[in-house]
Structures are given as C-alpha cells and as structure tokens.
Amino acid sequence: MNIERLCMCVCGVVKETGIFLREELSKIKQSDILVKGHNDFVTYVDKTAEKKLVNAFLKLIPESGFIAEENTLLKTGEHYNWIIDPLDGTTNFIHSLPCFSISVALMRDQQIILGVVYEINKDECFYAHEKGPAFLNGTIINVSEISTLKDSLIATGFPYNNFDRLDQYLKVFNYCLKNTHGIRRLGSAAVDLAYVACGRFEVFYEYGLKPWDVAAGAFIVEKAGGKVFDFLGGNHYVFGQEIIAGNQKVSIEMLNLTKENFG
C-alpha cells in the first residue's frame, strides 16, 4: 500500500463530498432534521455524505471496515477500519453557522495511520499519514511554540447531553477563563484539533466525544509535533471519550489541571 497516494485519494474524496455539503446548506429545512438524542441531530445530508464516503473508501480498500457515526455499513475489517464523521458540526450546519467539517481516519489494526479533516467553509484540508508530517492544503504545519497556559488560546466543547462530569469540567473552564488569553467553542471537535495542529490554538480539551470526532484530528496533531492524552495522561483518547491535545508544553500544563480535577 502506498500510504501517501492513498492519503491524497482520501483528500480528493473528502473534498468532493464537501462540495455536496456546501450545495445542500441552503436547502436544509426544519422538517429534514431528525433528533437522535438530547441536542444530537442528524439530517439526510449527514447520511448521504456518509454513504458517498463509505462507497468511495470501499473501492480504495475493499476489505476494510467502518466505524461511522451514521452506521451506513456495519462491517469490521480484519486489519483496516475507517473512522468517519461525515458532518462534524451538524448543529452548526443546520443553523448555517460556518464551522463544520468532514473527519476521516484510517486505522490499521489498532493504530491510526492516516487522518484527514476538511473544514468546508474555508476550504482548508488538514491531513497526515504515518510516513510524513502534517499538512494544510499542501503546506507543512506545526503546533505553536507558546510555552505557558497563560499565553495560550484554548479550545473546548461544551457538554450537550452528558452532564455527569459537568462540575469537574466547569472547574477547569473557570481556571482557563481566568488564566489564559481566552476560550473558544467552535462546535466541531475535528476543526478544534486541526487548529491545534496548525498553531491557531495551543490546546483543546473536551469530554463526551466519540471516535469519529477525534481520531483524524488527534493523529494530525501528533504528526504536527503535538501531544495527545486522555484526562489522566494515558492514550485512551480515541475510544475513551475524553481528550487533551496541544503543543509540547501547554498540553502538560493542561494535563496537570485535568488530573487535579478529574482524577
């Protein structure tokens, strides 16, 4: 397998699917919105986009399986599995708020080897594979060199249906609110992670996330020179529903903060 060529093919598929999402943005109606759970929405756009991605990736690796948000194909591959979010930021999308993305990762056995995050509104494609650095639209990217939390811009996501750890989350939020350059909540974890990878944010943290929200972005952060942990410093962040991703120094400072409050 030529992983570089595969990565470019995935970028092409994702961008083509992004065109479909842009075209449907002005067509979505209230009656098209289905509720999967509290503050958890889906539309025909998510489902159609996922089918496009699954069909294209089956042609690239016929024996592959899928871990996808809308469960288009319930298939587990022996070695290769795609982790797909066809529309990360559905709530933004249905409100025409311009921050949403497509997130695709490829896992070989239990190791992520490729990641693509495409922010559709800015036409920014972030990608990386196991044999190279991280890129944004063909240019190599790196995490920022800011060394302290107090000089950092932080990204997070607000809990929307899992409030079991809200008190701990708010303690961390309160500290960051008072001791950083500020906190931003964009509404797409995949974009948050991509922005960490290119140095726009110093660190991102959130809990309650799914594998398709973080797999691609976390991999891109690592390939851009960053660090990724769960809230206690382990590596159970793709399937563990909690994540810290940041540059080399600020990620450690944030980790100490989450250990203190979530440990």
What CATH number does the domain containing 65 carry? Answer: 3.30.540.10
Q: Do 78 and 108 fall within a single domain?
A: yes
pLDDT at 71: 78
Q: Do 123 and 196 fall within a single domain?
A: no
137-187 per-position pLDDT tens digit: 999 999 999 999 999 999 999 887 788 899 999 999 999 999 999 999 999
Q: Do 112 and 155 fall within a single domain?
A: no
CA-to-CA distance for 254 and 117, rounded, in angstroms?
24
pLDDT at 80: 97
Identify the band that residue 32 occupies on the pLDDT scale cut at 50, 70 and 90: low
Output the average pLDDT for the chain: 93
Among 40-54, 70-84, 171-185, the range of highest mean pLDDT: 171-185
Residue 126's alpha-carbon distances to 14, 21, 87, 163, 232, in angstroms, are 11, 18, 15, 31, 27
Q: Do 132 and 200 fall within a single domain?
A: no
229 closest CA partner among 247, 263, 253, 255 = 255
Q: Do 108 and 199 fall within a single domain?
A: no
Range of the domain at 68: 3-141
Determine if the pTM surpasses 0.85. Answer: yes
Q: Do 129 and 158 fall within a single domain?
A: no
| Ranges assigned E (strand) in the chain | 34-37, 40-42, 65-68, 80-88, 101-108, 111-119, 124-129, 134-136, 139-141, 153-156, 182-184, 203-207, 227-229, 242-246
Q: Do 98 and 193 fall within a single domain?
A: no
pLDDT at 36: 59
Q: Do 188 and 210 fall within a single domain?
A: yes
Q: Could you say which of 141, 169, 199 is where a domain stops?
A: 141
Q: If DSSP codes are grouped into helix, strand and coil, which group holds residue 82?
A: strand
Q: Do 68 and 180 fall within a single domain?
A: no
Number of domains in the chain: 2
Q: What is the CATH number of the domain that holds 206?
A: 3.40.190.80
Identify the band that residue 28 occupies on the pLDDT scale cut at 50, 70 and 90: confident
